[in-house]
Structures are given as structure tokens and as C-alpha cells.
Amino acid sequence: MKKNGLVTILVVAVIALVALWMVRGYNRMVTEQENVEQAWGQVETQYQRRMDLIPNLVATTKGMADREQATLTAVIEARAKATQVTIDPTNISPDQLQAFEQAQGTLSSALSRLLLTIEKYPDIKFDKHFMNLQAQLEGTENRIAVARQTFNECAQTYNTLIRKFPNNLIASMFGFERKPYFESQSGAETAPKVEF
């Protein structure tokens, strides 16, 4: 009888340890997943900040650069398309992230063209309101870069956690899936050619 009681206690202890390990692993995965989602929220916040600055930038330049309507229209259209691409951070996929990046890249290109066009117009270029908006836009671009990097770091921590053994067993049981990363834009590996 004592032997059966000892075996029962050992079996219960092993089951309790396995259950404790599973609960701890599951909770850590949930925490890391929440970190990824929070980091994604910061990415969206910074992109939204940029989008909020664009109407003011367009309005400031619109009256002064009537001949540049095509450039202004391109910025407005790119902004509209970028606002249509939304991602649910709980179910983010590589295709969704790529579509988001593409829409934001199109907007960045349109903004760059607008800012280059503005160089032809000293009245706009040296306007205090425009200079303030341009400084805010530059600061926002830096914040976007930091938010993207933070997202990638959180995604890497989460992805590493769910892929390591034995955590991968818990991850597969409870449906934890890898999160995609932001990647550099094509051509970013090539330095721009500067000629004087």
C-alpha cells in the first residue's frame, strides 16, 4: 500500500510540474505576444501622426504652388490609399505587412517628390509654417524608424520564444504563430550616387 501511495504522489508531482511548466510557458508567450501588439500600436501611431501632418502640408503648399497640382494630388491619393490598409496585430501576416509597407512606401515617395518640388519655390521653402511642418515631418520619420525597429525586436523575441524547444510544443498546442518583420525597402542596400 505504501508503494502505491508513493507512486501516486510521484505521478501527481510530475503532472503538477508539467502543468506548471505549461502555464508558465503559455503566460510568457502571451506576454511576448502582447509586447508585439503594443509595439505595432506604436508603429501605427507614428504613421498616423505622419498622415495627420500631410493635410496641413498640402494646404500650406497648395496656394503657393498652383503649378504643382499633380504632385499635390499624388500625395493626397497616396495618403488615402495608405489609410485604407489596416492590420489586425493579433493576426498579422507577412502579406498584410508587405501591403502596409507598400502603401506607406508610396506615400513616402509622394512626400519626397513634394518636398523636392518645394525647393523651386523660395516663398514656400522659407515660410515659417512650412518649415515647422517639415521639421515635424522629419521628426515623425525618425519616430517611425524607431517604432519599426522596436516592433522588429519584439517580434524577434516572440518568434525566438515560440520556436525554441520545448516552447514550440506549447506554441503549437495553443496556436501561437510567428510574426513577420519590417524589411528594408528594395534598393536600400545601394548607396545613392552623389554627383557635384
* Model confidence at 69: pLDDT above 50: yes
Give me the mean pLDDT over the 9-19 stretch: 91
CB 125 within 8 A of CB 119: yes
Give me the mean pLDDT over the 117-131 stretch: 78
Predicted confidence band of residue 54 (pLDDT cuts 50, 70, 90): confident
Q: d(Cα 78, Cα 98) in Å, to the nearest integer?
A: 16
* Model confidence at 191: pLDDT above 60: no
Predicted confidence band of residue 63 (pLDDT cuts 50, 70, 90): low
Q: Summarize pLDDT for 140-156 with one digit per residue, the tens.
A: 999 999 999 999 999 99
Tell me the Ramachandran region of residue 187: left when phi exceeds 0, alpha when psi lies from -120 to 50, beta otherwise: left
Q: d(Cα 152, Cα 60) in Å, to the nearest integer?
A: 35
Q: d(Cα 160, Cα 20) in Å, to the nearest integer?
A: 21
Query: If you average pLDDT over every residue of the chain, what do you get?
Result: 85
Q: Summarize pLDDT for 15-35 with one digit per residue, the tens.
A: 999 999 999 999 999 999 999
Domains and CATH numbers, the chain: 18-83+92-174 (1.20.1440.20)
Give me the mean pLDDT over the 118-124 stretch: 76
Spell out the SS3 assignment of 132-188.
HHHHHHHHHHHHHHHHHHHHHHHHHHHHHHHHCCCHHHHHHHHCCCCCCCCCCCCCC
Least confident span in 11-25, 34-48, 59-73: 59-73
